[in-house]
Structure 1
C-alpha cells in the first residue's frame, strides 16, 4: 500500500526526462528548477557515478536529444536503448519530452513511434499518460484539440490554423485533434481525459480515469489542459500511478508534465518552490546569437536587434551541402565575425529571415536533388553552425551565447564541447539562461540560452544579454 505523497522507496530522485530537442529540454529543466527541484540537463545519459559524485543533490535530471528530426527507423535505433537506459536509473517518472506544439509527423519525430517504444520498454504499465498543454507557455488542450499562442504578443490559434505550425517546413500541423494526429503515426488506441473529467474531488476524478481505462483499454490517455487547477489534477493522477507502480512511470508530453507534477509535489511537500535558486544574471558585455530558426517570432527578434545595433551575418546554407565547400564557407563566416567581436558588437549569425525566406525553398530543392529529406536541413544547418560557434568561442573567449531554433539548438550544443547544463536565470517562460559544464576550462561556466521558434518577445535577445 503506497502512502499518498510519499516517495517511491526504490529511489530518491523524482524524475528523469529525455527531450526530443534541446530547447524543449531546457524548458522542462526550467519548470523543475522553478519548483525548487534541483535539476541538471545532460547531453548524453550520465554514468551513475557522475550523478553521485558531481550532482549528488539533484532531484531530477534530463538528457537532451535530437529525435524530433529523426525518421522512425532512426528513432528505433537511437531511442530504444536510450529509454532502456532511463528505465534503469530507477526514478519515479520517466518522461519523453516533446515540443508543446506537438511537432511530429509519420516521417519526422513520430510521437506515435515513441508511444510504441514506450509500450515495449514498459510492458507492464497500464497506460501511457500524454500531456501537452502548458498554461505558462500559452498552450492549451481542449476536448483533445490543441491550441497555441503565436508569439508573446500574438493571439491563440488551433494548431491546424496556427500561422507558424500549420506551415512548419518539416512538420506542418494539418490536424488539431492530437488523437487523430497520432492515428497517422501509430495504430495504438489513445483515449481522452477531457477537462470536465478533471473537475471534482480526487476520488471522483480517479474513478473517471479508471472508467476510461476499463471501457476503451487504451494504450495511452491524453489529458486536456486548460488551466492550472486541471494541470495539477493531471499531475496528481500521474503521481498516483507512479506510486502504485513502484518503478518508473513512462510519460509522453511537453514541459506541462513537469509543471503538473511539480504543482502536486508542492502540495505534498516533496518540493519547496520557495527554495528555487534562479536569479537574475549579470549583464554581458557582448552576446552572440546563432539562429537556424525560420519562425516569424525569431524573424521579429532578429529585426528588432538589427535595428538596435546588432551586427548581422547571413549564412548561405546551400554552401554546406558539400564537405569541402562547407569548410571554406565556415572559415569565411568566422573571418566576417571576428572584427565585430573586436569592436565590442553583439552579433547575429542566421540562416533564414522568417518562413517566407526564399533560401528555405532553395535549400529544400538542393536537398531533394541529393536524395535527402527536408528534416535533414536541421542536422545540416545545426552541425555547421555548431562548428562555427565552437571556433568563434575558442578564438574570442565570448561567455554568453543564444541559439535560436529547436533542431538547431541540439546540433549546435553538441559541437560546443560541454556535457551538461543547469538553469541560471529565468528570462521568459521556455527560454532560460543556462550555465554550462565542461571539462574544458575555457567553456566551463559558459552562459547559454536555447530558444524555440515561438519563444520570447521582440526584445528577447537583448533581455538575454542583460541577464533577466
Structure 2
C-alpha cells in the first residue's frame, strides 16, 4: 500500500471558498497529515515555524469571482503555494461543481493553475469531483448528489438546478466545463477503473500520459476512489522524486481518494475542547438546512437577533453603517442576557429587492468585528461559505488549526492570530447545507461532560 512522503510538505491547496477549505483540512488530518489553513499565502519561513505541518492551504473566495477577477487574484497565490515545494498543488472546488463561465469559472482557474508550475500546460490535469462520503458520485462523467436522502443527477437536483448564482443545467461535468475553457476534455470512467490493480494503473497512467488537457476521473464507490487515489499518489510520487509539482483540480474527493489509497483514515489527533461557554452564531446562509438549525437553536433557548439585509447593505454608506452598528448593539445586549446568541439572516421575502451576497457577507463580517471589539467570544459559529471567509478576515485570523471533526466539511477549529482576543478562539465555519437540525445547539454544548459529537453532522455536507 503506497504511503505519503515521509518528510516535508505533501500537499498545498487553494480552496475556492472558506468552508470548502476547512473540508480539505479535516480530510488531510483524518489521513494523518497535519494541516494549517491560512487566509493569505504563507511564506516559507512561516511554514517552517510549524515543523509538524505536512500540508498547507489558503482559504479563498474564487467561487464568487469573474474570470477577469481570477486573473488578478489567483496567479500570485498559485505561485506562492508552488514555491513552498509540495509535490501536489490542488485547486479545491465544491463537490457540486458550483461554477459558470461568468462566476467561479473552474475552467479559467484550471488554466491559471497549469501556468503556475513548470510544464503544467503540457501535462494532463486530473479532475476529481466525486466524494461518496459526502453524498457525491461521478459515473461516466455525470455528477450525482443527495438532497434530503434522495440521489439526483445534478441538473435535476432540487437545490443546485435552481442555484441563484450558478444553476446547474448540465450534469456531465465535461459538457458543463466546456463552456468555461477551450482545453481538451476527456474521461477515465468506471469501466476504465475496473479490473486488476496493475491493469487499471496501466490504463489510467496511459490516459493521463497521453493528454495535455483536463482528464475527469470517475469516483462512484470506495473501490474507484481508492484507484483514483492511487493514480494521484503516483503523480505526487513522481513529482516528489524529480522535485517538481503535479497539479490537480477537484473537491475534497482528491484528499479522500489519497487517504483511501494510503489506507489512512481516522488518524486525526483530537485536541482539547474548551468548557462550554459563550457561543455566538452568525448565520449568513439562507439554505433550508441552516433555517432548520436556526429554528432548533431558538427552541433550545438561543436569543435570536434578526437583521434587515437591505438595511445593512444600503446604497447610502452612512445608512448602512448605522444599520450595522444598531445590529451589533443588539447582539451585544443579547450576549449580556444569554451565553447563546444567534445573529440571523432571514430568508428572502418574495417580491423584495435582491441583496448582493458579497455585500451582505461583508456587512455580517463588520457586525461580528464590532461585537468582538466589545465582548469576549470564546466560541464562534459562522454559517455560509462566503460569509465565513469574510468574517475570518475581518477578525484578523491568520490561520486555522483543526481541534475536532464534527460535521463533514465543518470541523471545530482554533484561530491563529496576532490579536490576543482572537488567538485561540474556537470556530466552526460551515456551509449552508451542512449539519443536522440541532447543529448549533450541539456546538454550543461542546465541552460539557455529557455531550459528544457523533450526531453533529448527521445531514449530508453541501
TM over 0.5: yes
Q: Does 1:189 align with 2:180?
A: no
Q: Does 68-77 or 139-148 show the bigger shift?
A: 139-148
Task: State the alpha-carbon separation in 1 of the partners of residues 226 and 408 from structure 2.
Answer: 18
Task: State the alpha-carbon separation in 2 of the partners of residues 408 and 226 from structure 1.
Answer: 31
- Cα distance, 1:181 vs structure 2: 0.8
1:324-339 to 2 correspondences below 5 Å: 324-339=318-333
Q: Which residue of 1 aligns with 2:456?
A: none
Q: Which residue of 2 aligns with 1:370?
A: none
In the alignment, is the contact (CA less than 8 A) between 2:415 and 2:423 conserved in 1? yes
Q: Which residue of 1 aligns with 2:145?
A: 148
Q: Does 1:226 align with 2:232?
A: no
Q: 2:28 aligns with which of 32, 35, 50?
A: 32
Q: Which residue of 2 aligns with 1:374?
A: none
Task: State the alpha-carbon separation in 1 of the partners of residues 377 and 4 from structure 2.
Answer: 45
Q: Which residue of 2 aligns with 1:362?
A: 352
Q: Which residue of 1 aligns with 2:294?
A: 302
Q: Which residue of 2 aligns with 1:259?
A: 256
Task: State the alpha-carbon separation in 2 of the partners of residues 236 and 87 from structure 1.
Answer: 22
1:339-378 to 2 correspondences below 5 Å: 339-353=333-347, 357-358=348-349, 362-364=352-354, 377-378=356-357
- Structure number having the greater helix percentage: 1
Q: Deviations over 1:172-199 (max 9, x none)?
A: 1111111111011111121111122112
Task: State the alpha-carbon separation in 1 of the partners of residues 209 and 246 from structure 2.
Answer: 19
- Cα distance, 1:218 vs structure 2: 4.9
In the alignment, is the contact (CA less than 8 A) between 2:2 and 2:262 conserved in 1? no
- Partner secondary structure for residue 352 of structure 2: helix
Q: Which residue of 1 aligns with 2:201?
A: 206
Structure 2 unaligned spans of 5+:
447-452, 454-462
In the alignment, is the contact (CA less than 8 A) between 2:41 and 2:77 conserved in 1? yes
Structure 1 unaligned spans of 5+:
267-271, 368-376
Q: Which residue of 2 aligns with 1:7?
A: 5
Q: 1:421 aligns with which of 400, 404, 413?
A: 400
Q: Which residue of 1 aligns with 2:152?
A: 157
- Cα distance, 1:139 vs structure 2: 1.1
Q: Does 1:172 align with 2:167?
A: yes
Seen in structure 2, the aligned counterparts of structure 1 residues 321 and 447 have a Cα distance that, compared at 3 Å, is same
Could you list the structure 1 runs, at least 4 aligned residues long, displaced by more than 6 angstroms after superposition: none
Task: State the alpha-carbon separation in 1 of the partners of residues 31 and 4 from structure 2.
Answer: 17
- Cα distance, 1:278 vs structure 2: 2.1
Task: State the alpha-carbon separation in 1 of the partners of residues 367 and 108 from structure 2.
Answer: 33
Q: Which residue of 2 aligns with 1:133?
A: 130
Q: Which residue of 1 aligns with 2:314?
A: 321
Seen in structure 2, the aligned counterparts of structure 1 residues 4 and 29 have a Cα distance that, compared at 3 Å, is closer
- Cα distance, 1:280 vs structure 2: 6.9
Q: Does 1:113 align with 2:108?
A: yes
In the alignment, is the contact (CA less than 8 A) between 2:405 and 2:411 conserved in 1? yes
Q: Which residue of 2 aligns with 1:409?
A: 388
Task: State the alpha-carbon separation in 2 of the partners of residues 412 and 405 from structure 1.
Answer: 10
**Cα RMSD (Å):** 2.0
Seen in structure 2, the aligned counterparts of structure 1 residues 156 and 283 have a Cα distance that, compared at 3 Å, is farther
- Cα distance, 1:464 vs structure 2: 1.5
- Cα distance, 1:219 vs structure 2: 0.4
Q: Which residue of 2 aligns with 1:44?
A: 40
Task: State the alpha-carbon separation in 2 of the partners of residues 111 and 307 from structure 1.
Answer: 41
Q: Deviations over 1:364-412 (max 9, x none)?
A: 2xx6xxxxxxxxx232111111111111123110111111111111111
Task: State the alpha-carbon separation in 2 of the partners of residues 104 and 257 from structure 1.
Answer: 18
- TM-score normalised to the size of structure 1? 0.89
